[in-house]
Amino acid sequence: MKRYKYLSINFDGRKGGVNIYCTNPSTINWLYSVVKEYVPNASGRKEVRDLEGKVVFVQLYRLDNQDFEMANWLFRKACEEGWYPLSPYYDGPEDAFMSDTIRRVTFRLIWEEKE
């Protein structure tokens, strides 16, 4: 049977920040370290842990007003590392990518584990 890991990268234009949820805690740590390389003042305000105490969700703030760009960049970095993109969820007007009216974007990805 095939096994998958799941990753979600979310930008919320109303609240700001980038949310990362992943079934693989090492991926969250990797993405956070990538963010810190480019935005040293970035911080994780909230972490959620699973029953084993592993971090599965983190909210990132203080991204130098580049939250939307950071979400897109993290999506691209994950794809470059081998994560497979699923359909994104997008909430906003049709021209939002060309304006400041975007409300929310969620990038969903999966990773197929090798047997």
Per domain, the residue ranges of the chain are 3-113
pLDDT at 76: 92
pLDDT band at 43 (very low <50, low <70, confident <90, very high): confident
Mean pLDDT of the region 83-109: 70
82 or 101: which leads in pLDDT: 82
Question: What pLDDT, on a 0 to 100 scale, did the predictor assign at position 14?
Answer: 77
Residue-averaged pLDDT of the chain: 85
Mean predicted confidence (pLDDT) in 19-26: 93
Per-residue HEC secondary structure of the chain comes to: CCEEEEEEEEEECCCCCEEEEECCHHHHHHHHHHHHHHCCCCEEEEEEECCCCCEEEEEEECCCCCHHHHHHHHHHHHHHCCCEECCCEEECCCCHHHCCCCCEEEEEEEEEECC
Bigger pLDDT: 62 vs 13: 62
pLDDT cut 70: percent of the chain above it: 85
7-20 residue pLDDT tens:
999 988 778 889 99
What average pLDDT score do residues 33-40 get?
89
> What is the CATH code of the structural domain delimited by 3-113?
3.30.70
